[in-house]
């Protein structure tokens, strides 16, 4: 670092670099090359996309989670003439999240697969830009404890939680906060009754009206499970009791969430639905950075509507709520069953309404245990995946 550098340069690891959040994060980083360097890029199995990102961003390290793809990554980097070092497998991911190759980690792997590297970054005291909400649902207490003990600074980049974080100015929700209101777009099927949801297709379910996202979270948005996961996420991130969290459907997706204080003030954060704003907040906090996102023209949008969520047509929200209240391993079971069900839906193996049915039957089938160790949570996760898979194999085609 030279004396003329205006800011200390931060080395950023992007986990889930080839995904929707990863791509947005790299877009923001590339706007600030003096200030941030993408030093580690990691992806699940798409080697070609990862190598292409390495050509553009020139990280020191690239990791592919699937260990069988190591040679393809190494050769791809070499053929592209890059000095980037190739790594493969989960242990390499965790070591790079914790090591001195980065000081900031963007946790944007999808699903429970993101938990080990997220925990490693938390324990190692990194600035942690947390998009991987499933890790908080699965192991919220352990992850928050690891962050506290490791001295990690978590900035949520889920848009709602990033909004709450901004309204709270980076603090915990204390006695001065009366409640938080998490907004929800309502997804592509807002306004439909249960009967009208039976035959919806994968293409319809992933066509989100306001946000462009990966397939899993898009389906979660269509079932409203995403909002349920986000309620649990808020409970852990901000230390909020369930009674102080509410969900408000807001179809325009311009108000990203609100915080009501005891004096009657409500603060909200507004902006266009583009994750680069939340990522820029995470990268620059407490400073503001240019993100590439335009400002909000309220005259052009005209109106902001709000309505109550329909938990009858979309039972996943209520299922998540009761799993949060049950505590222990219940949220881990909910999350695992949901991951299995969403994956089966995306593969065309089950219908849309089977998603809440499978989550509910898995929660009913398995006992709730205390969430006192990672081992116990991972065992609950594995057992829930098996139970849900078995239930799917017994379903008639497209139930």
Residues that bind ligand NAD (CB under 6 A): 16-22, 43-44, 46, 65, 108-110, 113, 131-134, 158, 211, 213-214, 216-217, 275
Compute how many other C-beta atoms are within 10 angstroms of the C-beta atom of residue 149: 11
Nearer Cβ to ligand NAD, position 74 or 133?
A: 133
Residue in this structure with the two tokens 């409203």, named with its chain if needed? 224
Residue 175 CB, nearest approach to ligand NAD (Å): 29
What is the rounded radius of gyration, in angstroms, for the C-alpha atoms of the chain?
Answer: 21
Counting contacts by CB under 5 A, is residue 134 touching Mg ion? Answer: no
Residue with tokens 């928050």: 144
Q: Does 158 engage in binding with Mg ion (CB under 5 A)?
A: yes
- Binding span for Mg ion by CB under 5 A among 157-165, 201-209, 261-269, 290-298: 157-165
Cα within 13 Å of Cα(206), Cβ side: 13
Closest CA to 317 of 245, 244, 258, 247: 247
Residue 377 binding partner per list Mg ion, ligand NAD, none, with a CB distance cut-off of 5 to 8 Å that depends on partner kind: none
Planar angle of CA 259, 262, 266, nearest 5 degrees? 35
CB nearer to Mg ion: pick between 64 and 217: 217
Smallest separation, CB 191 to Mg ion (Å):
20
Q: Taking CB within 5 to 8 Å according to partner kind, which of Mg ion, ligand NAD, none is near residue 211?
A: ligand NAD
Name residues whose C-beta falls within 8 Å of residue 141's C-beta, 6 or more positions apart in sequence. 236, 371
Choose the contact partner of 214 out of ligand NAD, Mg ion, none; CB within 5 to 8 A by kind. ligand NAD
Q: Could you tell me which stretch among 50-58, 155-163, 325-333, 390-398 binds Mg ion (CB under 5 A)?
A: 155-163
**3-state SS, residue 324:** helix
Stretch of 156-164, 190-198, 275-283, 360-368 contacting Mg ion, by CB under 5 A: 156-164
By a kind-dependent CB cut-off of 5 to 8 A, residue 388 interacts, out of ligand NAD, Mg ion, none, with none
Residue 180 C-beta: closest distance to ligand NAD, Å: 17
Closest distance to Mg ion from the beta carbon of 189 (Å): 17
Which residues are within 8 A (CB) of 160 and not within 5 positions of it... i.e. 6 or more apart? Answer: 182, 183, 230, 234, 256, 257
Tell me the CA end-to-end span of the chain in Å, nearest whole number.
60
Dihedral sign, Cα of residue 236, residue 239, residue 243, residue 247? negative
The secondary structure of residue 126, as a DSSP letter, is -
**Minimum distance of Mg ion from residue 159's CB (angstroms):** 5
Which of Mg ion, ligand NAD, none interacts with 133 (beta carbon under 5 to 8 A by kind)? ligand NAD
**Least distance in angstroms from the C-beta of 21 to Mg ion:** 11
SS3 267: strand
Footprint of Mg ion (CB under 5 A): 158-160
């Amino acid at each position: 670092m030279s004396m003329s550098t205006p800011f200390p340069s931060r080395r950023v690891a992007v986990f889930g670099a080839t995904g929707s959040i990863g791509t947005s994060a790299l877009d923001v980083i590339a706007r600030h090359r003096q200030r941030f360097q993408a030093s580690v890029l990691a992806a699940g199995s798409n080697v070609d996309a990862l190598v292409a990102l390495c050509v553009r961003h020139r990280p020191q390290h690239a990791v592919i989670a699937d260990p069988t793809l190591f040679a393809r990554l190494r050769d791809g980097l070499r053929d592209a003439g890059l000095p980037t070092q190739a790594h493969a497998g989960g242990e390499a991911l965790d070591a790079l999240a914790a090591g001195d190759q980065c000081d900031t980690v963007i946790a944007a792997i999808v699903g429970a697969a993101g938990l080990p590297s997220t925990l490693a970054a938390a324990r190692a005291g990194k600035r942690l830009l947390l998009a991987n909400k499933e890790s908080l649902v699965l192991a919220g207490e352990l992850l928050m404890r690891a962050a506290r003990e490791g001295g990690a600074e978590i900035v949520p980049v889920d848009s709602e939680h990033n909004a709450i974080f901004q309204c709270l100015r980076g603090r915990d929700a204390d006695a001065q906060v009366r409640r938080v209101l998490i907004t929800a777009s309502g997804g592509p099927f807002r306004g439909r009754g249960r009967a009208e949801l039976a035959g919806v297709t994968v293409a319809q379910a992933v066509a989100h009206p306001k946000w462009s996202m990966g397939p899993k979270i898009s389906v979660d948005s269509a079932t409203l499970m995403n909002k349920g996961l986000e309620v649990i996420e808020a409970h852990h991130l901000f230390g909020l009791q369930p009674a102080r969290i509410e969900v408000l459907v807001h179809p325009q997706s311009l108000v990203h969430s609100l915080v009501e204080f005891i004096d009657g003030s409500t603060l909200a954060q507004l902006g266009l639905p583009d994750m680069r704003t939340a990522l820029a907040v995470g990268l620059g906090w407490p400073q503001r950075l240019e993100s590439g996102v335009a400002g909000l023209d309220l005259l052009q949008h005209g109106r902001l509507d709000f309505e109550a969520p329909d938990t009858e047509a979309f039972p996943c929200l209520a299922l998540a709520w009761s799993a949060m209240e049950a505590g222990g391993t219940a949220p881990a079971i909910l999350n695992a069953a949901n991951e299995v069900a969403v994956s089966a839906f995306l593969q065309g193996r089950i219908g849309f309404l089977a998603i809440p049915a499978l989550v509910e039957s898995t929660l009913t089938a398995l006992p709730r245990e205390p969430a006192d160790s990672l081992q116990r949570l991972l065992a609950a996760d594995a057992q829930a995946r098996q139970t849900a898979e078995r239930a799917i194999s017994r379903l008639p085609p497209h139930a």
